[in-house]
Amino acid sequence: MIEFLVEITTAIPEGTAAEEVERRRAAEAVRARELAATGHLARLWRPVGERRSIGVWRAADEAELRERVLGSLPLWPWMTAVVTPLEPHPNDPGPA
């Protein structure tokens, strides 16, 4: 699997009912746990004071990432994503 750095910003459409937002957020948490369990979601952060997320995601390729992985998120229709494919750096101090 290829690793991707993904920056996600969510913009809730104006006029969306609070109940719909809460329903999708709850479903999003469940789906994120499922994607982590299958190895597609490796890490996820939220920059301090911001309403966006930055994560390391895994998929066979960018098409699978966008269509089958990120596309399965309940909030995906409201999201924009910047996707950057990653490759190992020779000076990475992490596990080989």
The CATH number covering residue 65 comes to 3.30.70.1060
Contact 83, 65 (CB under 8 A): yes
Instruction: Indicate the number of domains in the chain.
Output: 1
> Looking at residues 18-23, what average pLDDT do you find?
97
Domain that residue 29 falls in: 2-86
91 found inside a domain: no
> Looking at residues 48-57, what average pLDDT do you find?
94
> Looking at residues 18-44, what average pLDDT do you find?
97
28 found inside a domain: yes
Give the model confidence (pLDDT) of 68-85 as tens digits: 999 999 999 999 999 999
Residue 96 confidence (pLDDT) above 80: no
Contact 1, 39 (CB under 8 A): yes
68 found inside a domain: yes
11 found inside a domain: yes
Please work out, in degrees rounded to the nearest 5, the angle formed at the alpha carbon of residue 20 by the alpha carbons of 56 and 36.
Answer: 25
pLDDT of 51 reads 85
